[in-house]
Chains A and B, each alone.
Chain A
Amino acid sequence: MQLICISRGSFSIGKAFAESLAAKLGSACLGREDLLDLAAASGVAAGKLEMACLKSRNLDEKMLLEREHYQAFTTAALCERALAGPLVYHGRTGHLLLQGVPHVLRLRVVADMETRIKSVEERLGIDREKAKKYIEQVDEDRRKWVRTFYNIDWDASAGYDFTINLEHANIGNVASAFCGVAQLPDFQETPYARRMLEDLLLASRCRAALAKDDRTYHARIRVRAERGTVSVTYLPRDAALAEIIPRVLERVPAADNILCTMASTRILWIQERFDPKISTFKHLLEVAEKWDAAVELLRLVASDAPPLIERAPEERVISPAERAVTGGIEEDEQGPQESDAWEEGGVAETFAELVKAGRAGGRVTMRGSAKDVLTAIDRTAAFSLVVVGDTFLSKGKAARVRLTRELGDVIHDQLRVPVIQAEEMKEQYLFGPKQLVTLLSFLGLSAIIYFLVFTHQQEVIGIMRWQGMGWRALAAALVVVFAPIVAYFYGNAAGFVLKLIKME
């Protein structure tokens, strides 16, 4: 079953292409305008949100809430249609609403400027200069919208599977060509992909339900769902909603288990295999307690990793050659054991421990490479820290170290959050013997400096009274060097003390 998202610029005949492709594939066709109508009918102030995004990337509290509601309603509508049958969606960035869904075919339709100018001149009856300015303004507005919503570049071609320029080709012919692309195994729905869609639908429906209810309307809430388990994270200032949230969500179908965690921030932990007995888990929990953070688990299985369990005797063994040709469709026929097993990887056990500790922030399992991870992470979520543990386990040690570091670098560059390797956590964020030695050294040095200054006040004042250009310059240099040194010693000592008493 195909799921195609077409990103179209203004006046790029993208809509016509989408409709042609949908007709040839026998798919339903859905446009952005349809989603906007649905959102507006649900009470989302989509127009105001658009204006706010155009004016500034810094949305205030009210608009941030509107954005969450908008995303919830539109994602739910899109997922419902995608699960109902093959779908072609055309809009701005529908594929970004479906983050983590692996079989989405992402197309970008562009047209040359002259074609677009002519189109605007005809439609709006304005001259060429005005038409050009109009198109540039609309494009700029769309860029701002996407940047504000998703923190990415709308027209970066790396975000799409194919970019299509319809300048020299007939729409129908290109649509026919892409019918073949849409049939490729890479873009077919698998049970795993379907489950991702269902999880996304459940999460967005829950978020939409919370947006509709007067009691929870004003709360900034994050919802993740996996196989009927809904993880809700809310802020400490909304502590009164702890009992209300589940009552609101009981009306949502398929929300079997609801976990409500109060947390001020989130930490993302990425591993290939989780284990609540390892030291990383203990350290992470300690940091989460101090920071009042919910921990989200992201299980990353490398795309070329072999199956992680033994096959049942009745299952057909698939040769590597077959797997290369079919791209994994045979996984469907292997039954639930393998997909369940490789998706587990200790996630359930670790998540249960997080629930016990009161730090559960959701979980997701995905298969892919370092850059695929970004499709599963909500770029607008406020993570305070990303911890990258053991990943790419099927590789050799050197490759594993390199790929893990690259993963961290990619996440840091794109999300602009601190990213550390699991083994660095203790040293950077926890208080141990090494930190104690450093604290005592800094405290000692600070005490010596303060003692010397305040027992020699006249001498210190005397420096400021030096006369002569050279002496005054020297005095100024001494001040500029001395002040930050004191700030460094004392500031670090204060920081370590606060880390020691778990307040940072």
Chain B
Amino acid sequence: MTEMFIQLNMMIALQVVTLGFIGGVLSGFIGSGGAFFMTPGMMNLGVPGVVAVGSNITHKFGKAMMGSKKHGEMGNVDRKMGFFMLLTATVGIRVAVWISTVLFAGGGDSHGASGSGAQEAPANLYISVVFVSVLTLVALSMLRDIISSAQSDAAGPSRQISEYLNRLKLPPMIYFPTADVKVSLWVVLTVGLATGYLAGTIGVGGFIGVPAMIYVFGMPTAVAAGTELYLAVFMGAFGALNYAYEGMVDLRLTLLLYLGSLIGVYVGAYGTKVVKEVVIRLVTSLIILLCVVSRAIAIPIYLRQLGWVNLDPAWDAYFNGASKALLFVSGISGAAVILTAVVRAYIQRRGVHATLAFTRKPAAVQPVA
């Protein structure tokens, strides 16, 4: 049986903590869980894809519990919406875990599979392909919306899909009181299924759930974020249960991720105060795109391991190195942009009198303090 749990030395541990910190900063900044960075990052360190997803979803569970309490106090959680989405999200997670487990178990028998890492190659390839496809769509739509809103006076991202679905009004329509929206049950269940499936496959659920709640359901942003976090608690718990049952959760990695992420998230959240919304969206989409390219670079490794392409095994190290370097460059650059904005705003703030008082004189207004 292949080694599912990597040997941890100080260097690798520090890298995992760094992954957690950068993921936390991005998570606090963007509002997602940060898994789009942490999951591929762990895979770059040699963690099998299924263990990376399982450990991250366990980490997400604990982190979401901490965050959802605050949102709940502020009345930003639509529990009714959360309940309905969870009905199918659990199905989505179960399907995702089943697929990943089957691929992982079947990897030893993969036709033509060769070399170390052959067992996890099918699962790694599957996770990477889903990651690349879904997040490419997300990043490109964000970039397209940024460009189109800069070029025209169109108010906000394109709502063609949501408007189409709203016109359909597929019964039964359900009213959600906290969010104050009426949505077709089928749409809610479908979004729940997609969110659960993606969370269970690549550990990323927020990128579907939150935009869907805002643009498809028409929920206020704060309620969408709060409800998603509430949902993440249960999805995280269910995902953690499933992956842990299959023996695919490395608690050491989860704890190391906590060390970084639970601090990073505060820094990232602070960054949203000092950076304009359009810059947040631009930085987010660019980081996601770089993460996507980073993951795509690693795909040839898995194709070779499966025997689907004929490559020199020595090249694995270069592919992995390039993938890892690009991922860390994107994450560190993103975190650096955020931290620079935070520091610059802090310095600027100190250089400006926080309250300037002016009293009108007959000719002009003169400063008095």
Contact = CB atoms under 8 A, between A and B. Distances in A.
A250 B363 CA distance: 10
B252 A454 contact: yes
Interface of A: 45, 48, 51-52, 55-63, 147, 236-237, 239, 242-243, 246-247, 249-250, 255-265, 292, 354-360, 412-413, 416-418, 449-450, 453-454, 457, 460-461, 463-466, 472-473, 475-480, 482-484, 486-488, 490-492, 494-495, 498, 503-504
A237 B156 contact: no
A491 B66 CA distance: 7
Contact of B367 (A246, A354, A463, A480): A246
B5 to A, nearest CB: 5
Centre residue among B73, B266, B357 by max chain A CB count within 10 A: B357
B218 A475 contact: no
Contact of A504 (B220, B250, B266): B266
3 nearest A-B residue pairs (beta carbon): A358-B354, A487-B62, A52-B155
B220 A239 contact: no
Centre residue among A55, A292, A466, A484 by max chain B CB count within 10 A: A484
A465 B270 CA distance: 41
Nearest to A51: B155
Given A257-B359, A483-B240, A476 B245 contact: yes
Interface in B1-58: 4-5, 8, 58
Contacts of B367: 246
Contacts of A264: 273-274
Given A60-B149, A475-B247, A476-B244, A256 B359 contact: yes
Contacts of A61: 276-278
A240 to B, nearest CB: 9
B62 A484 contact: yes
A337 B246 CA distance: 78
Contact of A236 (B63, B248, B273, B355): B273
B273 A256 contact: no
Interface stretch (B103-111, B197-205, B257-265, B327-335): B257-265
A147 B218 CA distance: 13
26 contacts: A45-B153, A56-B214, A57-B218, A57-B220, A58-B214, A59-B155, A60-B156, A236-B345, A237-B274, A237-B345, A239-B345, A247-B365, A259-B355, A260-B357, A358-B354, A360-B355, A416-B74, A418-B73, A454-B252, A461-B252, A464-B4, A464-B247, A479-B58, A483-B251, A490-B262, A504-B266
B361 to A, nearest CB: 9
Given A258-B365, A417-B74, A450-B255, A58 B221 contact: yes
Contact of A260 (B58, B247, B356): B356
Contact of A355 (B149, B218, B357): B357
B37 to A, nearest CB: 19
Given A56-B159, A259-B355, A262-B349, A479 B251 contact: yes
Centre residue among B153, B262, B276 by max chain A CB count within 10 A: B262
Given A236-B274, A461-B250, 7 more contacts: A45-B153, A60-B157, A260-B358, A262-B354, A487-B65, A495-B266, A503-B270
B355 A453 contact: no
Given A257-B357, A472-B247, A498-B263, A56 B218 contact: yes
Nearest to B65: A484
B255 A453 contact: yes
A486 B62 contact: yes
Given A237-B274, A239-B349, A453-B251, A483 B76 contact: no
B364 A60 contact: no
B75 interface: yes
A262 B352 contact: yes
A483 B253 CA distance: 11
Centre residue among A51, A416, A461, A464 by max chain B CB count within 10 A: A464
B interface residue count range (under 10 / 10 to 19 / 20 to 34 / 35 or more): 35 or more
Interface of B: 4-5, 8, 58-59, 61-63, 65-66, 73-76, 149, 153, 155-157, 159, 163, 180, 214-215, 218-222, 237, 240-242, 244-252, 254-255, 258-259, 262-263, 266, 270, 273-278, 345, 348-349, 352-360, 364-365, 367, 369
Contacts of A494: 262-263, 266
B247 A465 contact: yes
A237 B359 CA distance: 25
A63 B240 CA distance: 41
A453 B349 contact: no
Contacts of B63: 487, 491
B51 to A, nearest CB: 9
Given A472-B245, A483-B251, A236 B66 contact: no
A480 B233 CA distance: 11
A504 B268 CA distance: 11
A59 B66 CA distance: 28
A237 B352 CA distance: 12
Contact of A491 (B163, B254, B262, B274): B262
A413 B254 CA distance: 37
A464 B248 CA distance: 7
A257 B273 contact: no
Contacts of B358: 246, 250, 257-260
A387 B76 CA distance: 20
Contact of A480 (B240, B247, B255, B354): B240
B136 to A, nearest CB: 24
A384 to B, nearest CB: 10
B248 to A, nearest CB: 7
A237 B345 CA distance: 7
Contacts of B365: 246-247, 249-250, 258
Nearest to A247: B365
Contacts of B349: 236, 239, 262, 292
A243 B356 CA distance: 8
A133 to B, nearest CB: 12
A416 B76 contact: yes
Contacts of B221: 58
